[in-house]
Amino acid sequence: MQNNMNGGTPWVSFCIATYCRQEILKETLSHIKKQSFSNYEVIVSDNDPLQSSRTVVEEIDDVRFIYFSNIENVGMVKNFNIALSKARGDFIVMIADDDPPRIDFLQTLYDLWKEKPYYGAYYGACEVIISNEDAAAAYQVDIGSIKFLANIPENTVRCFSREEFPLAYLEHQVFPYMLWSVGIVRRDIVIQIGGMPDYGSPLLTDLSYITIVGSYAGCATINKILGGQIVHGANSGLANPHNIESALIGCHKYFEDKLSSREDWINLKGRVEKFLATYIVNHCLAMNTYFTNHNKHEENEEMQLALKRMFNLPGMGKMRFYYFRAKWMPIIKKILQPIRPFYKWVQSSFIKKSKNI
């Protein structure tokens, strides 16, 4: 494909929301610039009224990279939808400034679209890059890359109809984890659903978006890593306990508004509740660890009070025991650590005596 230099319609538009993260944005734009497929445009919507990212885009020196800034910080979700309103491509990539794509991201999905042209969305697998100790401690993983390939041979192509996709996604049958920035969605579908869901919080919006776009015209997938997300703490909502409750309530309403007319809504409703409850509780566990490690007692108390109220929401009550067990088990193990050698000695002595009887 040739560069789209003459004002024609690009095949795909990257819609990027950014705010005061010039170095991170620069890295992601460089990954896009290196794409082996070239018929695209990049819409960078800057939430900084001082236009701190303008020079980053101008330094790319490529007419496909287009910069806009807002007169005030409108928040992440509205900023994404502003970028969408400027986009002209047949397909849309919703991408944060810290979600670098692989060099063959577009070419792979273009080839998949040519092979399976009747779907509304096309996705590859993703990786999550844990970049620092804060994020690693909060999620109880090691620093490095976690690849979320499906448990099938790499490069396998699978297709899900609009009827199949929501349940398959909610039950993690498509990929163990999906990232919105490693997929393309038909622009008409994104516009039809109203862009990114806006219920007052960015939390859960990516998961909601993926579910709903796949429910419109199905999704074709390829089991290949096409990009990832760099988790550095600030981008995963760990430090922000505000609006977590409104996010869960808003997300429930969004799913019901978009999916309740389906014949399978009775079955989907329970699975939506379980999916959202599991995500929120695990997110709160990570937040608890982050706040504890940073002595942020007020923020942790706010989060705990919100969680207490959320346990009364659909699907959440069943997660109460899971949360408290996961929260206190590491502390109990730490307390018992000094007597562990004694316990092993007693256990060993008991086994020896049992053998002698």
Give CA separation, 192 vs 209, 258, 352, in Å.
Answer: 12, 11, 71
pLDDT of 1 reads: 38
Selected residue with higher pLDDT from 233 and 84 = 84
Categorize the per-residue pLDDT at 6 as very low, low, confident or very high, splitting at 50, 70 and 90: very low
Sign, CA dihedral 204-210-214-220, equals negative
Coil/strand/helix, residue 293: helix
Transcribe 155-213 into DSSP letters.
T-EEEE-TTTHHHHHHTT-S-SS--GGGEEEEHHHHHHTTSS--SS-STTHHHHHHHHH
Within 13 Å, how many C-alpha atoms sit on residue 259's CB side?
28
Instruction: Tell me the average pLDDT across 185-200.
Output: 95
Tokens (6 digits) for 174: 């498509």
Those residues whose C-beta lies under 8 Å from the C-beta of residue 173, and which sit 6 or more positions away, are 167
pLDDT of 348 reads: 60
Q: Contact at 8 Å (CB) between 190 and 95?
A: no
Domain edges within the chain: 1-97, 98-328
- CATH 3.40.30.10, domain 1-97, yes or no: no
Which is nearest to 50 in space by CA: 27, 23, 82, 73? Answer: 73
| pLDDT single digits (tens) 128-169 | 988 888 888 878 888 889 999 999 999 999 999 999 999 999
pLDDT of 347 strictly over 60: no
| pLDDT single digits (tens) 11-54 | 999 999 999 999 999 999 999 999 999 999 999 999 999 999 99
pLDDT of 352 reads: 52
Q: Which of 57-71, 191-205, 237-251, 322-336 has the lowest mean pLDDT?
A: 322-336
Those residues whose C-beta lies under 8 Å from the C-beta of residue 131, and which sit 6 or more positions away, are 143, 230, 231, 232
pLDDT of 156 reads: 98
Residue 12 CA to chain centroid, in angstroms? 20
Q: What percent of the chain has pLDDT over 70?
A: 89
